[in-house]
Structure 1
């Protein structure tokens, strides 16, 4: 059997060590970025670093911004600054209490404002393409939770 090597596939690797509910993580690669996670005391942590859930939501905003830059280039529109607010509603009954059900967020809402010179039609296409092409958005969407994506356009300054 012959396997096909796809040159478009990039592996992302994170190594982690930890004790209790805290971890130290290192992203493999030239830069070797490092970060830490912890949990609220109610979950057995000391709240000395962001929760993995905050990192998941933060990954959603930053991946949307990276994807937006790529989509804007393809659509030949200019972007300025971004403002994001993401809310994830989590029923902790499964995580904390061991109840039956899905431990996933029940709902995630992305609210974004981005400066752009796009026409209203271009902006709608832009938002649709960002959602379709963003790997982290697709992780949330395909998980089956209620996903709301509300993007507003602001005038491009400067």
Structure 2
């Protein structure tokens, strides 16, 4: 018996380095991507790498909300600070090597009623179950994260 999957579909078109992207589904979502002038863009929209880091924040929040529900804890406001350090010599200059980020560091603060032990489980389960976190961790870059809990207001 095969497992059920959920298809995620994006169609895109563009010229130069700018694109218009359309997410398929019951509610069509449209967004645009560009890049910094140093990479040939006009900085008219976020770069694909910014979207990638943004996907890491939002996927953790979605996954964490599901994990919190399963653990029976309440969560309120989330805040993230994510930094990805990229050596541009491969993408922009054609140097040999890996075009991936060298490192990504994540700082997360979550309002919750979880005690310290439950929060530790919440964090590890969220990172384990988050598809985007797993893509980053398994890509070989240096990945660090620091999670902080604050009282639910």
Q: Is TM (by shorter chain) over 0.5? A: yes
Q: State the 4+ residue runs in structure 1 displaced beyond 2 angstroms.
A: 4-7
Give unpaired runs (5+ residues) of structure 2.
none
The match for 2:66 is 70
Task: Report what 2:113 is aligned to.
Answer: 117
Counterpart position of 1:89: 85
In structure 2, the residue matched to 1:107 is 103
2:3 paired with 1:6: yes
Match for residue 145 of structure 1? Answer: 141
The residue that corresponds to 2:40 in the other structure is: 44
C-alpha distance in 2 between matches for 1:122 and 1:65: 17
Distance 1:5 1:25 in 2: 31
Cα deviation, residue 115, structure 1: 0.3
Deviation at 1:5, TM superposition (A): 3.7
Structure 2 CA distance for aligned equivalents of residues 5 and 152 of structure 1: 39
Describe the superposition over 1:57-109 as per-residue Cα deviations: whole angstroms up to 9, x where unpaired: 00000000000000000100000100100000000010111111000000001
1:19 aligns with 2:21: no
Give 1:149 deviation, angstroms: 1.1
Q: CA deviation at 1:10?
A: 0.2
Residue number among 57, 60, 63 corresponding to 2:56 in the alignment: 60
Is 1:130 aligned with 2:133?
no
| Post-superposition offset of 1:110 | 0.7
Give, in whole Å, the separation in 1 of the partners of 2:126 and 2:2: 27
Q: How many residues align?
A: 153
| 2:100 partner SS | coil
- Partner SS, residue 65 of structure 1: helix
